[in-house]
């Protein structure tokens, strides 16, 4: 794998950072992208300057994404895997949410994936490589209090499924990865109704899957060229299964679960 190259967006923390560590440990060349350049440089220093390229990137800006891809090619000459991991969440009822928040969720989660994919795709096709989108169970089931988040993740899933079909004859591999609740910064930085960051997570992250375990599963799914990866049983696979056979019952379960959270927007 010494000549393989992966680009990971949202690599400054959480699943993205864990993916960078995993790929370096497996002998890959890694391009890490995020808005927080200081964290990228710190991660590069930890992992090694020769095989890690940090690129400050705002995925909502197409030009930033074009520069990201070009720098990866200039440094390593090819792109074998693109992992669209950059994302933000929210926690507020839609009725109370400012429209700017809805647009921000879609800009980062959906358009960020589209922007990076657009410029990386010719290089991925050349390598018959892998295109990965990190969504969540919220991309299969509407999550109450997360209307903008679920909508953006549904959109990413639809986008990637379409690209998979368009490229049935090209050798492109497309993976849609849906982690369950994973310990990361995403809940702390989740947007409230007015666009401020939530700050504190309403959930006990000690009981969640670690970012490192999640990264391991994604790495293996790419290696095996899987179509889909849904992680955790109860909050992942079983939830998606229930949505197909008992959707009304699942609606009630989801409402009750999210309404019972500390400081729930339903109260």
Strand 81-84 relative to strand 228-230: parallel, antiparallel, unpaired? Answer: unpaired
Strand 5-9 relative to strand 81-84: parallel, antiparallel, unpaired? Answer: parallel
C-alpha span between 189 and 196 (Å, rounded): 9
Q: 146 pairs with which residues across the strands?
A: 92
Q: Where are the beta strands (DSSP E) in 145-239?
A: 173-178, 228-230
Radius of gyration of the chain (CA): 18
**Cβ 164 vs Cβ 125: under 8 Å:** no
Task: Copy the structure tokens of residue 232.
Answer: 């955790």
Q: Classify 116 as helix, strand or coil.
A: helix
C-alpha angle 214-16-85 in degrees, rounded to nearest 5: 95
Dihedral of the alpha carbons of 212, 218, 220, 223, in degrees to the nearest 10: -140
Task: Copy the structure tokens of residue 178.
Answer: 């849906």
Of the candidates 23, 110, 140, 149, the residue annotated as catalytic is: 149
| Phi, psi (rounded to 5 degrees) for 111 | -65, -30
**Cβ 244 vs Cβ 140: under 8 Å:** no
Q: Is 149 among the residues known to form the active site?
A: yes
Helix (H) or strand (E) holding 104: helix 99-105
Catalytic residues: 149
């Amino acid at each position: 794998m010494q000549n393989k190259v992966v680009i990971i967006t949202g690599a400054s923390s959480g699943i993205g950072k864990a993916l960078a560590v995993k790929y370096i440990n497996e002998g890959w060349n890694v391009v890490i992208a995020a808005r927080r350049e200081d964290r990228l440089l710190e991660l590069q220093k930890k992992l090694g300057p020769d095989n890690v390229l940090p690129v400050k990137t705002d995925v909502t800006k197409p030009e930033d994404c074009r520069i990201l891809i070009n720098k990866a090619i200039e440094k390593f000459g090819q792109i074998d895997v693109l992992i669209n991991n950059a994302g933000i969440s929210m926690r507020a009822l839609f009725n109370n949410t400012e429209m700017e928040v809805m647009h921000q969720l879609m800009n980062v989660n959906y358009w960020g994936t589209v922007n990076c994919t657009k410029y990386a795709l010719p290089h991925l096709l050349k390598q018959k490589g892998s295109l990965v989108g990190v969504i969540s169970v919220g991309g299969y089931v509407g999550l109450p209090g997360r209307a903008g988040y679920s909508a953006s993740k549904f959109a990413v899933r639809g986008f990637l499924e379409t690209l998979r079909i368009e490229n049935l004859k090209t050798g492109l591999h497309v993976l849609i990865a849906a982690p369950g609740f994973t310990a990361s910064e995403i809940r702390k930085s989740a947007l409230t109704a007015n666009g401020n960051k939530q700050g504190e997570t309403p959930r006990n992250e000690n009981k969640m899957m670690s970012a490192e375990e999640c990264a391991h599963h994604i790495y293996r799914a790419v290696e095996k060229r899987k179509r889909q990866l849904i992680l955790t049983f109860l909050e992942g696979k079983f939830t998606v299964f229930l949505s197909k056979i008992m959707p009304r019952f699942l609606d009630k379960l989801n409402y009750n679960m999210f309404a019972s959270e500390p400081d729930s927007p339903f109260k």
